[in-house]
Structure 1
Amino acid sequence: MRRRLRAAESAALGLLLLLSAACGSRLPESDFEHRGTPTTPAAGTTPIRVGIITSATSPVGAAAFTGPRDGAEAWFERLNARGGIDGRPVEVRLCDDGGSGVGNNECVHRLIDGNDGNNVVALVATTALDYAGASRVSHARVPDIGGQPIGAAYDTYPHLYGIYGSLAPRDGTVGWGGRLYGGTEVYRYFAREHGARTAAVVSYNQAASAAYARLVVRGLKAEGYDVVTEEVDFALPNFRAAAADLKEQGADLVLDALDTHGNARLCEALDDVGAEITAKVTNVQNWTSTVPEDYKDSPRCRNALWATGSSRNYEDTDQAAVREFRDGTEKLGTHSQWQLEGWAAAMWFTEAARACAQAGTGVTRACVDDFMNRSGGDGQGNGEGDDGYTADGLLIPVRFERAAEPPRTRWTCLSVARWQDGRGWVSQGDMNADCFDVPQLAYRP
């Protein structure tokens, strides 16, 4: 099954940048941690070291970027409790880059080219607000596995393997000549499954928010929607006025280019004016168990929340792989789709390391990188993983194809869930069956 681009979702996550311009400072030693194994390794056994870079103390809030890190850590803890990789424990080295480019470069330096002999073999589940060190990681040929594409790095550099895959050449230039492409599958889904024909797009009067809103409007119009646009002031947003106009216009769908706080306030305003909508559509970052708290003042809108993504709903405990994830992350208290994707990224590294160990080549950067290229397919029908990587069914097949030309259309699949009070996120159909051949629209990140 062919893998879709996640460019549109990357742009949505990039809107976090509108909250603050991250200023950088050098990291104190306390921000660079290593975590060993909860079990005692055999005498003479050396650990396999991996690094996780996270903007844990970024200007957009302490919890904004920590989901993938928490999921990956939980996987490695469970793995070590079961004996590690061929008897070798995995040592996780954490670095908080503070959400700044300076801090990110510092983390990259410490993890991949330090002088203490403890360099990591790979990065896993990178979630950085400003991945300024991406070119340095690529130049050092360090595989970066399962990172979240907040920005264009995973569609720019070789040796970086985003959790959603990429079709781009990844030759050091963003996408194809500086352009990335996003599909219209989300809009096609709501038109086909729910008969939606009128959509509203709400944005701030801020450059990043407005740019993403324009991309959403283009996608909706390509799918035949009548589109209503609403712009609110970033400093003093009047969400009630926007909500009242949306009610008057009779929008079926509401999509936005807002931050999480803005989403919650928009939902509250929609409830206040009595707007009836088919769906308030959000993305994977907001696919969490904290919805009752985040949307506590808007019960009607809360129960119209829909999330879309490329990974299996963390509530689908009828699936063995999801049950294992839930068991392994029980102590976290809350659950999210980003945690599941971080767990899947750690699984991916583990499969690569095991393959290298069993082949007798040793768990090296080069061997792990070679496995990543093969497990994600090469698009030519030659790789052993040509159908893409699925993390035991947790991911829609992930591929890295290095297409010479951008696709005009793409066969894409979609994971969809709806929030329902008392039940949580309820999957809508099967993510490997909700598939469409949709146009790909260009944009500059």
Structure 2
Amino acid sequence: MRRPGGAALAAAALVLLAAACGSRVPESEFTERPAERGGGAAPSGEARGEPVRVGVIASETSPVGDAFSGPQDGALAYFEALNARGGVGGRPIEAVTCDDGGSGLGNSDCVRELVLKEKVFALVATTSLNYAGAPQVSDAGVPDIGGQPIGAAYETYPHLYGIYGSRAPRTGGKPGWGGDLYGGTEVYRYFKREHGARTAAVVSYNQAASASYARSVTSGLEAEGYDVVTEQVDFSLPNFDAVAADLRARGVDLVFDAVDTGGNAKLCRALDEAGVELTAKVTNVQNWNSSVREDYADAERCRNSLWVTGSSRNYEDTEEPAVKAFRDGMDRYADTGTRSQWQLEGWAAAMWFADAAKSCGKDLTRACVEDFMNRAEPYDAGGLLLPARFEQVPEPPKTRPTCVSAARWQDDADGGDGGWVTQGEMTENCFTVPQLPYRP
């Protein structure tokens, strides 16, 4: 993977921010609709009716390599599995993909290709480094369902429905509430409650997007009463050895970062060489994948202190029926070689669209699909997601009940690759926490 440039770091920072601020309402507060557990499938048998065409945009060839392809892989596998079971009301889903190359111009081209030329009914699992075409999607009234909130588009435009839900007005003007978005402190509360952590470090580059994300993490940690150590390294020549030495001297419990995967691996190696013992080295949903053993090959101690947090169920939890269905579908329909949380969330996005389409019966319209997306009941994709919904509230909440999905990496004692081990039931890792403003 190439070292990401400024745009890539901006995207990485926003992905991290979305993961950190993707708070959800506890499942216990709502009543689940039985239809959500069905996965949107029609009666068994191959779908033969008129296809429903959907578009999938991903920044497959972006400055961060193929890091943005996971949701697309998951969505495509879900549609293959769905079609094998009869599609939606006997109609197959026909997915048309477009790689925007990670650029705003490429994204706008993809939007024109899919919306104007291919005339897709909806977009699903959009994962774009620069979602420049979002205004055109919204103006065309095309539902965009289950996209990754890498930028602020899913908190800005109507007809766009991010994978984690939203409370923002989404009127098409400024994002959020007058340009401010809000995120909770549940991740920091979790580590404080479960592990007694009190001192945390935030490591960033001397680059605008990285530094901005680091400030938001610092603000959240301070709101939860942590002693915070901030470390900034030069983007071109980062001295992680000096950072590791300082963190050891200060007795840091947790380490959060605003650097790329390559930088994380180098930081972990430096922490190991300095003998730093951590409660957790916390990363995000974008790095929640099966390549950890390879990425952190020379940092065994730090590798086994890696934690991830997010808003979806661990893709390793195959004892859960919905996760097993995802893994079986990926094994059959996706020849990618790796498994990741973003693949699971892409699968969940496709399920969300399918369930919305199924709710329409024979009268499948965009308006009907959006009625499903905007309903009061939350959606959890058969238990894959923390319950999410879309409600446009005029004022941002000061506090909010939230939950956290958490997992820790553990090497295989018998010499295998190891994997992510879930830490508590995600619908029970819940807190009422303050909502803090940030600027996208």
TM-score scaled by length of structure 2 = 0.87
Please say if 1:420 is aligned against 2:410: yes
Task: Give the deviation of 1:332 after TM superposition.
Answer: 3.1
Task: Give the deviation of 1:352 after TM superposition.
Answer: 1.2
Amino acid in the other structure paired with 1:353: A
In structure 1, the partner of 2:430 is 435
% same residue: 69
In structure 1, the partner of 2:116 is 113
SS of 2:286's partner is: helix
SS of 1:353's partner is: helix
In structure 2, the partner of 1:235 is 236
SS of 2:61's partner is: coil
How far apart are the structure 2 equivalents of 1:289 and 1:153? Answer: 29
In structure 2, the partner of 1:396 is 386
Task: Give the deviation of 1:364 after TM superposition.
Answer: 2.2
Structure 2 gaps of 5+ residues are 1-10, 19-44, 413-417
Amino acid in the other structure paired with 2:251: G
SS of 1:230's partner is: strand
In structure 2, the partner of 1:336 is 340
In structure 2, the partner of 1:151 is 151
Amino acid in the other structure paired with 1:77: E
Task: Give the deviation of 1:353 after TM superposition.
Answer: 1.2
In structure 1, the partner of 2:15 is 13
In structure 2, the partner of 1:139 is 139
Task: Give the deviation of 1:262 after TM superposition.
Answer: 0.7
User: Contact 2:104–2:131 at 8 Å: present in 1 too?
Assistant: yes
User: Contact 2:373–2:389 at 8 Å: present in 1 too?
Assistant: no
Amino acid in the other structure paired with 1:216: V
In structure 2, the partner of 1:5 is none
Task: Give the deviation of 1:254 after TM superposition.
Answer: 0.3
Compared CA separation, residues 40 and 401, structure 1 to 2 (3 A): closer
User: Contact 1:14–1:151 at 8 Å: present in 2 too?
Assistant: no
Amino acid in the other structure paired with 1:57: T
Amino acid in the other structure paired with 1:188: R
How far apart are the structure 2 equivalents of 1:438 and 1:180? Answer: 15
Compared CA separation, residues 15 and 318, structure 1 to 2 (3 A): closer
In structure 2, the partner of 1:302 is 303
User: Contact 1:15–1:259 at 8 Å: present in 2 too?
Assistant: no
Number of residues of Structure 1 aligned to a counterpart in Structure 2 = 395
Residues 80-229 of structure 1: matches in 2 within 5 Å? 80-114=83-117, 118-172=118-172, 173-229=174-230
Which of the numbers 64, 67, 87 marks the counterpart of 1:64? 67
How far apart are the structure 2 equivalents of 1:310 and 1:10? Answer: 17
Task: Give the deviation of 1:369 after TM superposition.
Answer: 1.7
Task: Give the deviation of 1:11 after TM superposition.
Answer: 4.8
Structure 1 gaps of 5+ residues are 1-8, 17-38, 378-384
Compared CA separation, residues 432 and 306, structure 1 to 2 (3 A): same
Task: Give the deviation of 1:333 after TM superposition.
Answer: 2.4
SS of 2:392's partner is: coil
Task: Give the deviation of 1:251 after TM superposition.
Answer: 0.2
Task: Give the deviation of 1:395 after TM superposition.
Answer: 0.3
Deviates more, 1:127-136 or 1:83-92: 83-92
In structure 2, the partner of 1:27 is none
Task: Give the deviation of 1:260 after TM superposition.
Answer: 1.0
Compared CA separation, residues 373 and 182, structure 1 to 2 (3 A): same
Task: Give the deviation of 1:306 after TM superposition.
Answer: 0.3
User: Contact 1:15–1:209 at 8 Å: present in 2 too?
Assistant: no
How far apart are the structure 1 equivalents of 2:194 and 2:366? Answer: 45
Residues 254-403 of structure 1: matches in 2 within 5 Å? 254-330=255-331, 331-356=335-360, 358=361, 360-361=362-363, 363-374=364-375, 377=376, 385=377, 388-403=378-393
How far apart are the structure 1 equivalents of 2:234 and 2:420? Answer: 31
User: Contact 1:15–1:208 at 8 Å: present in 2 too?
Assistant: no
User: Contact 1:10–1:149 at 8 Å: present in 2 too?
Assistant: no
Task: Give the deviation of 1:401 after TM superposition.
Answer: 1.2
User: Contact 2:206–2:233 at 8 Å: present in 1 too?
Assistant: yes
Amino acid in the other structure paired with 1:392: G
Q: Deviations over 1:134-164 (max 9, x none)?
A: 1111111111000000010000011100000
How far apart are the structure 2 equivalents of 1:416 and 1:206? Answer: 28
Higher relative contact order (CA 8 A, sep 6+): 2
Q: Deviations over 1:211-246 (max 9, x none)?
A: 111111111111010011111000000111111111
In structure 1, the partner of 2:29 is none
Compared CA separation, residues 158 and 10, structure 1 to 2 (3 A): farther
Task: Give the deviation of 1:325 after TM superposition.
Answer: 0.3
Task: Give the deviation of 1:408 after TM superposition.
Answer: 0.8
User: Contact 2:47–2:84 at 8 Å: present in 1 too?
Assistant: no
Please say if 1:76 is aligned against 2:79: yes
SS of 1:91's partner is: strand
Amino acid in the other structure paired with 2:95: V
TM-score scaled by length of structure 1 = 0.86
Task: Give the deviation of 1:366 after TM superposition.
Answer: 2.1
Amino acid in the other structure paired with 1:79: L
Amino acid in the other structure paired with 1:431: M
User: Contact 2:167–2:391 at 8 Å: present in 1 too?
Assistant: yes
Task: Give the deviation of 1:373 after TM superposition.
Answer: 1.2
Task: Give the deviation of 1:41 after TM superposition.
Answer: 5.8
User: Contact 1:124–1:345 at 8 Å: present in 2 too?
Assistant: yes
SS of 1:300's partner is: helix
Task: Give the deviation of 1:65 after TM superposition.
Answer: 0.1
